[in-house]
Amino acid sequence: MAKTILVVDDDPRLRQLVRDYLHAEGFRVLTASDGQEALFVARHEKPDLVVLDLMMPVLDGYEFMRAHRREADTPIIVLTAKVEEGDKVLGLELGADDYVTKPFSPRELTARIRAVLRRTGKEPAPPEILRAADITLDRERRLVTVRERRVDLTPSEFELLATLMAAPGRVFSRLDLLDRLQGTAFEGYERTIDYHIHNLRLKIEPDPSHPRYVETVFGVGYRFADEPAPR
């Protein structure tokens, strides 16, 4: 089930930008234009995480955190142009789990959201054994078999395959996959994903030049085929 993210900001263009990007990344997204509206939405929808601006009319982000923390322990990522140390300290003391400064990259924000969800246990534990078509992946034993034949993968190849197999049909950008491997996103190294994917295909595909499992989505990234083509 998709995780629900509540985006709270008084700038409608920023709300739409973040909403569209997170929706494309597979999240269910709710929005609010101020802290008072956000409290109402949070009470009724119970989001998995809140992305929160600080400077807003009616009820600002600080007051939202004071009120919301009395009711729930929802993870909160503060998204703001306020960069003074005192502002950050106050936000963290009020219960913020992370702090992203404007201007920001939507890809960085997405990586932070996934990291906070993992850290706070809001992401469900992945299944230990994944099966798709002729491939079986055992996370606990770190074993992969293809057509009942064991295949030896490097740690990076194993994590890439596990990530893709856990969400067949979902398109992952190179930055998404790099984040899964390294925990943080380093844009300069995104092309290393292509290298790992190439080597992974050599080991698991019947014909690596015409992959049936790990598909390329040109201009975006990679996905595990929802229904792999016949051999």
How far is residue 42 from each of residues 7, 59, 165, 171, measured CA to CA in Å? 10, 14, 32, 29
Which of the residue ranges 29-33, 40-44, 75-79 would you say has the lowest mean pLDDT?
A: 75-79
Give the model's pLDDT for residue 55: 86
Q: Delineate the domains of the chain, giving CATH numbers in brackets.
A: 4-119 (3.40.50.2300), 129-224 (1.10.10.10)
Mean pLDDT score across all residues of the chain: 84
Question: Which of the two residues, 38 and 228, has the higher pLDDT score?
Answer: 38
Q: How far apart are CA 206 and CA 116, in angstroms?
A: 38
Q: Model-level pTM? A: 0.57
Q: pLDDT at position 91, please?
A: 60
Per DSSP, helices labelled H in the chain are: 12-24, 35-45, 61-68, 85-93, 106-119, 155-165, 174-182, 192-204
pLDDT at res. 198? 93
- Name residue 101's beta-bridge partners: 80
Write the pLDDT tens digit of every residue in 167-206.
888 888 887 787 777 544 444 456 788 989 999 999 999 9
pLDDT at 185 (0 to 100): 42
- When pLDDT is averaged across residues 138-159 and rounded to a whole number, the result is 90
**pLDDT top residue among 222 and 227:** 222
Query: What local confidence, expressed as pLDDT, does residue 120 receive?
Result: 78
- Which of 43-57, 131-145, 178-192 shows the lowest mean pLDDT across its residues? 178-192
DSSP conformation letters of 27-50: -EEEEESSHHHHHHHHHHH--SEE
DSSP state of 187: G
Higher-confidence position of 68 and 121: 68
pLDDT of residue 47: 95
Residue 229: which pLDDT band, with cuts at 50, 70 and 90? Answer: low
* pLDDT 10s digits, 93-127: 667 888 888 888 888 888 889 888 888 776 655 66
pLDDT of residue 26: 81
- Percent of the chain residues topping a pLDDT of 70: 86
- Has residue 49 got a pLDDT over 80? yes
